[in-house]
Amino acid sequence: MQQLSPQQLAAWLADPAREKPVLLDVREPWEIEICRLRDSVHIPMASVPARKEELDPEADTVVVCHHGARSFQVGVLLEASGFRNVFNLSGGVDGWAKQVDPGMPQY
């Protein structure tokens, strides 16, 4: 699984020539209430095995959590399930807030 830094993801999202990835946020609902990346799809980590059919296995999928550990685990599961283009946001939303969007609430 490929790792993406917050800066790499920001550049990808800002590039009009590149198709936007699916941003899969696997945090808990209470975490989403605090902050989230715009246009992200929310499926809590524990629900991903039962709900992965809601996702396109051919799409570029960036998995997001708070610091990058839960998203890495979900990425491994998705790859084992046949997803081809899975990326882990290293540092998670915490890294995004610190490196890309300092106005984002942190917890």
% of the chain surpassing 70 pLDDT: 100
Q: CB-based contacts of 104: which residues, under 8 Å, 6+ apart? A: 35, 93, 96, 97
> How much of the chain, in percent, has pLDDT values that exceed 90?
100
Would you tell me which CATH number, out of the four given (3.40.50.300, 3.40.250.10, 3.40.190.10, 3.40.50.2300), belongs to the domain 2-99? 3.40.250.10
Orientation angle between helical segments 92-99 and 6-14, nearest 10 degrees: 70
Q: Grade residue 99 by pLDDT with cuts at 50, 70 and 90.
A: very high
pLDDT in tens, 21-38: 999 999 999 999 999 999
- What is each CA distance from 87 to 71, 98, 102, in whole angstroms? 9, 20, 23
- Domain boundary assignment for the chain: 2-99
Alpha helices, DSSP H, located in the chain: 6-14, 29-34, 48-51, 69-80, 92-99
Q: Is 65 a catalytic residue?
A: yes
Q: Please identify which of the residues 24, 43, 62, 65 carries the catalytic annotation.
A: 65
